Structure 1
Amino acid sequence: MKMNYIKKLILIVPTLLIVSCTDDLDQTPIDPDSFTETNVFATADEAKGALAKLYASLALTGQQGPAGQADITGIDEGTSQYSRLLFSLNELTTDNAVVGWGDPGLPNLHAMNWGAGNDFTTGMYYRLAQEVSFANSFIENAAALNDNAEVEAFIAEARFLRAFAYFNLLDLYGNVPLVTVISTELPEQSSRADIFNFVESELLEISDVLKESGANEYGRVDRVAAWALLSKLYLNAEVWAGEDHYTDAITYAKLAINSSYSINTNDTNGNGSAYDELFLADNNSNGAQNEFIFALNFDGNNSRTYGGTTFLVHAAIGGSMDAFNFGVNGGWSGLRTTKALVNKFDYSVTTTDADGNPTEWADARAMFYTDEQNLEINTISNTFTDGYAITKFKNIDSQGAAGSDAGGDFVDTDLPLIRVAEIYLTYAEAVLRGGSGGDLSTATGYVNELRARAFGSTAGNIASGDLSLDFILDERARELYWEGQRRTDLVRYNDFTTGNYLWPFKGGSKSGTAVDDFRKLFPLPSNIILINPNLTQNTGY
C-alpha cells in the first residue's frame, strides 16, 4: 500500500487541523475577505500535524473524503479540488482539452465566454483563498513555538504554500487582496505587481530556511521548490509585472536543475520510453519521484477525492476504451483533445488510418487513443468519439498491476505540479528571450534529453539552429499537456486570445476565432465584489 507523509497525517490528525468550511459560495466568501478560527499548537508534533492540512487543502476537498464535510460548498465537492479546477481553467480553455458535459459554467470554458458568476472561476478563487487563510493561521500559531528550528522549517513550508496560492491568484485573477495576517477587516485590493513582488520576496526569504535538496519527506517541499517556482515566476514577469526577469529565470532554473532532482530515465516497464512512468500508480517509487519537485499525492484507499488523478483517469475513458487497462472500474466519458494538440506530433507519425489520420507515433509522449475516435470534433457535445482520447494518466503501476483501491474507484497516481522537465524548458525559453547566464547549446541539450527520453533514442534530437520560441511553445505542449500549464503558456506568447493561433472551437467557433483580450484574466467572483467595496472587478466583466 502506497503511503506517505501527507496521506498518513490526513488520517490521524483531523482534530488538530485548522478545520473550516465556507458557507455557500453565494453567501460567504473565504479569505481574503474572511478568516478561520485557529488552534494554538503546544508542540512541534502538533504543528507538523496542522501543516498536513495545508498540503491536503490542495489535494483533497474536505474533512471526510471523497465527499462530505466539504471545505467549500456551493459547488460540487469533487469539482472543487485544486488540480481539477486548474485543469478546467488552464487546459479546458485551450487547445489541449475539451469536455462535453453540461455542468453549469463548464461549456463556457472552452467557448471562452465565462462570466463573473462562473462556478469554476469562482471555485478556484475560493480554493486558493482558503489555502491562504489556512497558511496565515498556521504561520501565526506556529510562530508561538519560539526558537524551534524544526518549526521554523514548517513555517517556511507554509509560506511556500501561501506563495504558491498567490502565484496562482496572480496568474489567474491579477489584482487580488494581499492578506498575510488573520483579520476580520475587509482587505484592500493589491496590484498585480504587488502580488508579484510578494511572491518573489517570500520565495527568496524562505529558500535558505527550507530543507536542503531532497532532505524532506516525500510529499513535502524543500528549497528546490522555491527555486523552481521563482524560475516560473520570473519567466512570466513581463506579463505579470511588466518587467524583464529572464536572467533571473535562468539563475533559478539552473539552481533547480543542478540539485538532487533529475529527469527520470528509468524505463521500469520496458516499453522503450521512461515518459509514461511519470504518470503511473507507483510514480512515488518507480524513479519518477526523482523528477517531481512539487507534487500532489494521492492514495486510492487513504486520500480519496473525485478530483486529482481520479478525475484525470476516469474522465478520459470512454468510447471503446477498456477501463481495466487503466486500473479503474469504468470511465466517465468526458475529456478528449483537439487536433491542434495531436498535430504538434506530426513530425513523429509512423502509422495513419485509411483517411490519413495519425494513429501511431515515434514520440512516446503522443499518448492518444484513436480506435473509433474522430480526429475532427464536429460539436462540443457528449459524443465521446469526437476528438482523440488521452491515455497519459493511469492507475496501474510499472508492472501493470492496478492501484490499491480494490473497487477501482480511486487512484494512487501522484500529480506533478512542478517537475524538472518543465524547468529545462523554462531555462531554454529564458535563454531564447535574451536572459544572460545561460547558453543556447545547454538549452538544446536539455531539450534533447527530453526528446531522447520520448523517442527512446536520439532519433528526435534537434540542432541548436532548430531551437526557437515557437519550437519551445510546441515542445511545452508535447511535454506538459494536461498538467495545468497551457493557458499560462499561451498568454505569455500572446496566443491565448488573439488570432495568432486558433484551435477548434476557440471562442465558440468550430474553426476558432479571436476573443477579447480581457479573457487573459478570469473575473473575481461576483459575490466578493458585492461584499467588499474595496474591490474593483477585472476589466470586461
Structure 2
Amino acid sequence: MKTNLLKITMVGLMAAGIITSCTKKLDLTPTNGITANQVFSTTQGYLEAAAKVYGSFALTGNQGPAGSGDIQGIDEGTSDFFRLYWNAQELSTDEAVVAWGDPGVQDFHLMNWTSNNPMLQGLYYRSFYQITLCNNFINQASDANLAARGITGNDASNIRNFRTEARFLRAYQYSVLMDLFGNPPFATENDPIGSFLPKQIQRADLFNYVESELKACDSLLPATNNYGRVNKATAEALLARIYLNAQVYTGTARYTDAITYATKVINAGYSLVSDYRWLMRADNNLNTSEFIFTINYDGLKTQNYGGSTFLCHGSVGGSMNAGDYGLDAGWAGMRTTKAFVNLFPDPSGNTDQRAEFYTNGQNLDINSLTTFTDGYAIQKFINKTRPTIPNVLTSGNNGSNPTFADVDIPLFRLPEMYLIYAEAVLRGGTGGSVSQALTYINQLRTRAYGGSTAGNIGAPDLTLDFILAERGRELYWEGFRRTDLIRYGYFTTSNYLWPWKGGVPTGTSVGSFRNLYPLPSSDVSSNTNLVQNPGY
C-alpha cells in the first residue's frame, strides 16, 4: 500500500540475513551459512539488501545488542528506532510524560538518567545497527564489487542509486548520534568487518562528516523518488536542520546556510496539505505534497509495537474509547503537561486546530506522572483515515489492523523548513527576509485556523520565542522538542520550567551536562577508545 519497496522488505530481511547485529564492536556476523557473495551475487539480492536498510527503520526482531533485545527493560516493540528516539526527544521535555514504569522510562522527564539507562542504550545500539547495515550495503555496492560480480548497465545504475540512499540514511543516523550523544564511536564502509573497536569522533568533526556526506548525496540523488525513499530534497532538508543547530554542535553559527537549504527544499515543489488533522492518520501516505521523507508503517506488513503503533495506542486511555481511534486497546501511557497546553489559545481546537487534546476526565495539572488521567491526552496519531465528518477527529475509516497502525512517521515535512527559514532569519542569517519568513509562518497559521487569517501575526510578533512556541504547536510529538529547547538554552536551565522538570512538581533546573546524553556504560567499558561525556 505504501510503496513497492515495502512489498519486498520482508523478503529482504530474510534474504539479507547475513547482517544480524551491530555489537559493541560493530561486528557483522554471518548466520545460517549465508555469505556476502551469495547475498550480493545478483541484482535481486542487492534489492533485497536495500529493502533491509530501509526496513530497519520500521521493523524489529531478533537483532542482538543493536536491536536492544538483550538489554534489560527493552523488549522487541521497544527496540523500534522511532519509539526509542521519541522517548529521548519528547519525554524529557514539556511535551510529554508517560505513566509506565518500564526500567529507565521515567528517568527522562525526571532528568535523572544515567549511563546505564536501558532506553538510551537501546537507542544508541539501534542507531549503530542501522549504520552497520548501511556500511555493509555501501561496501558491497562499490563499483569494484559490482564489476567483479558482473553487474552492469541499468542494474548497476540502480544499485548505485540505492548506495547513495544508504549514504543518506547513514548520515541521518549519525546526525541523531551527534545530536543526542555528541561524541560517538565512528565507522564507515572502509573499516574492517569483524572484530573492530571503532575510534571516537568529536562532535564538530562528526558534523563536518555528515555535512560532506549530505552534500555528496545532494549532487547524486534524484529530484523525485518513490514514496518512502530519499530524494534530493531529503538531503537538503537534513542539511537545513543541522545548519540551524550548528552552533550547538560546533560552536559556529551557520544560519545563512540554514536559510539557503531550507529555501532549496521550499522551492522543490512541496505544498501544505489543506488540513492539519490529516497529517497523522492511517492514510497519511496521501500527504505526498507535504511529506519529504517518511518511515512507512503498515498494519499488515510492518507489524511491531513501536513507531506509530506505539504513538496511537500509548496515547489512548482513561475514558477514551480505543475503537474510536481505530484500535483494539489503549495502553494508557503518554500525555502532555500544562506548560505545553498553554502554548495554544485554548485546548478545544476550535481556534487553533493543532490543539488535538482529549480533556474529558483528564486533569490539566499532573499530580502523579504514573496516573494517565493526570495531564491532557493527545489525539494527534489516529489509526483511522481522514475524518469523514467535519471537526470530528475520530470519524473516518479504520486502518487495516486494529493492533498495528498504518500511520507513517514523517521524518521531514515542509513546515519544518518554513520554521527553520524564519528562525535563521531572526538569528541573523542572510539570504532571507523577515517579510518572507512572516509569509511562511502565516501560511502555517492560516491552515491551523481552518483557512481563516484570524490567527495570522504581524512582523512585531515574529520573535524567536514565538518561533519556538510555533515549532511546538506545529511539530509536537514528532521528535523535535529536546533539540529545540537546547538550541534556545531552555532545556536544562531555569529560563523555562515545566511540571516535573528535574523531578520537582513545579519544575527545576538541572546540570548543563544533561544537554548531552551519556554513552552507554556497556560500550565505554568494552571499547577502550571511548571517553564518557562529562558529568556521567
User: TM above 0.5, one fold?
Assistant: yes
Q: Distance in 2 between matches of 1:257 and 1:467?
A: 20
- Which residue does 1:197 correspond to in 2? 208
- Give the one of 383, 395, 406 matched to 1:395: 383
Amino acid at match of 2:418: Y
Q: Secondary structure at the match of 1:294?
A: strand
> Where does residue 430 of structure 1 map in the other structure?
424
What is the Cα deviation at residue 46 of structure 1? 2.2
Counterpart CA distance in 1 for 2:13 and 2:502 is: 44
Q: 1:493 to 1:18 in 2, by over 3 A?
A: farther
2:56/2:130 contact within 8 Å kept: yes
CA distance in 2, matches of 1:315, 1:369: 13
- Report the equivalent of 2:221: 210
Q: Distance in 2 between matches of 1:249 and 1:532?
A: 36
Q: Distance in 1 between matches of 2:58 and 2:25?
A: 18
1:354 match: none
Stretches of structure 1 that go unaligned for 5 or more consecutive residues are 266-273, 350-357
- Equivalence for 1:238: 247
Residue of structure 2 equivalent to 1:415: 409
Report the more deviating stretch, 418-427 or 38-47. Answer: 38-47
Could you tell me whether the CA contact under 8 Å between 2:18 and 2:36 is conserved in 1? no
Amino acid at match of 1:47: Y
Q: Distance in 1 between matches of 2:5 and 2:329?
A: 27
Q: Distance in 2 between matches of 1:474 and 1:94?
A: 13
Contact 1:18 1:53 (8 Å CA) reproduced: no
Match of 2:316 in 1: 317
Deviation string, structure 1 residues 480-502 (Cα, Å, up to 9, x no partner): 00000000000000100000000
1: CA distance, partners of 2:198 / 2:467? 40
The 5 Å alignment of 1:17-36 reads: 17-22=16-21, 28-29=23-24, 31=26, 34-36=27-29
Q: Counterparts of 2:10 and 2:342 in 1: how far apart (Å)?
A: 44
The 1:12/1:22 distance shift into structure 2, 3 A limit, reads closer
Secondary structure of 2:404's partner?
Answer: coil
- Contact 2:68/2:125, CA 8 A, preserved across alignment: no
Correspondent of 1:229 among 213, 238, 242: 238
Q: CA deviation at 1:59?
A: 1.3
Assess if the C-alpha contact under 8 Å between 2:384 and 2:398 holds in 1: yes
CA distance in 2, matches of 1:458, 1:520: 38
Change (3 A) 1:97 1:30: farther
Contact 1:152 1:209 in 2 (8 A): no
SS in 1 for 2:410: strand
Please give the residue correspondences for 1:25-424 in structure 2 after superposition, counting only pairs within 5 Å. 28-29=23-24, 31=26, 34-37=27-30, 39-40=36-37, 41-62=40-61, 72-74=69-71, 75-143=74-142, 144-146=145-147, 148-181=156-189, 182-183=191-192, 184-212=195-223, 215-265=224-274, 274-285=275-286, 288-346=287-345, 349=346, 358-381=347-370, 383-398=371-386, 399=388, 400-405=396-401, 408-424=402-418
Q: TM-score, normalised by structure 2?
A: 0.92
Say yes or no: does 1:439 pair with 2:433: yes
Q: Which amino acid aligns with 1:485?
A: F
Give 1:486's aligned amino acid: R
State the secondary structure of the residue aligned to 1:289. Answer: coil
Structure 2 equivalent of residue 522 of structure 1: 517
* 2:454 match: 459
Q: Distance in 2 between matches of 1:165 and 1:452?
A: 34
Deviation of 1:361 after TM superposition, in Å, equals 3.7
SS at match of 2:294: strand
> Once superposed, what is the RMSD of the aligned Cα atoms?
1.7
Q: Does the CA-based 8 Å contact 2:25-2:196 persist in structure 1?
A: no
The offset of 1:193, in angstroms, is: 0.6
Matched with 1:355 is none
SS in 2 for 1:59: coil
How much does 1:186 deviate? 1.1
How far has the Cα of 1:262 moved from its partner?
1.9
Equivalent residue in structure 2 for 1:486, among 481, 488, 492 = 481
Identity %: 51
1:261-303 residue CA offsets vs partner (Å, 9 max, x unmatched):
22112xxxxxxxx001111100112xx2221111110110111
Residue 469 of structure 1 corresponds to: 464
Q: Distance in 2 between matches of 1:257 and 1:20?
A: 37
**CA offset at residue 360 of structure 1?**
4.8
Q: SS of the counterpart of 1:113?
A: coil
- Please tell me whether the aligned partners of residues 7 and 298 of structure 1 are also in contact (alpha carbons under 8 angstroms): no
Unaligned runs of 5+ residues in structure 2 are 389-395
Whether 1:504 and 2:499 are equivalent positions in the alignment is yes
Aligned residues of 2:68 and 2:121 also touching (Cα < 8 A): no
Contact 1:296–1:417 (8 Å) recurs in 2: yes
User: Quick one: which amino acid aligns to residue 58 of structure 2?
Assistant: A
8 Å contact 1:336–1:388 — kept in the other structure? yes
Report the alpha carbon displacement of residue 322 of structure 1 after superposing the two structures with TM: 1.1
Contact 1:224 1:293 (8 Å CA) reproduced: yes
**Cα offset for 1:393?**
0.4
Aligned-pair distance for 1:43? 3.2
- 1:12 maps to 11
Counterpart contact for 2:12–2:52, Cα < 8 Å: no
**C-alpha displacement at 1:19, in angstroms?**
4.3
CA contact (8 A) 1:61 1:71 kept: no
Q: Distance in 2 between matches of 1:232 and 1:344?
A: 23
Q: Is the 8 A contact 1:315 1:334 kept in 2?
A: yes
Deviation at 1:36, TM superposition (A): 4.3
Alpha carbons 1:6, 1:297 under 8 Å: kept:
no
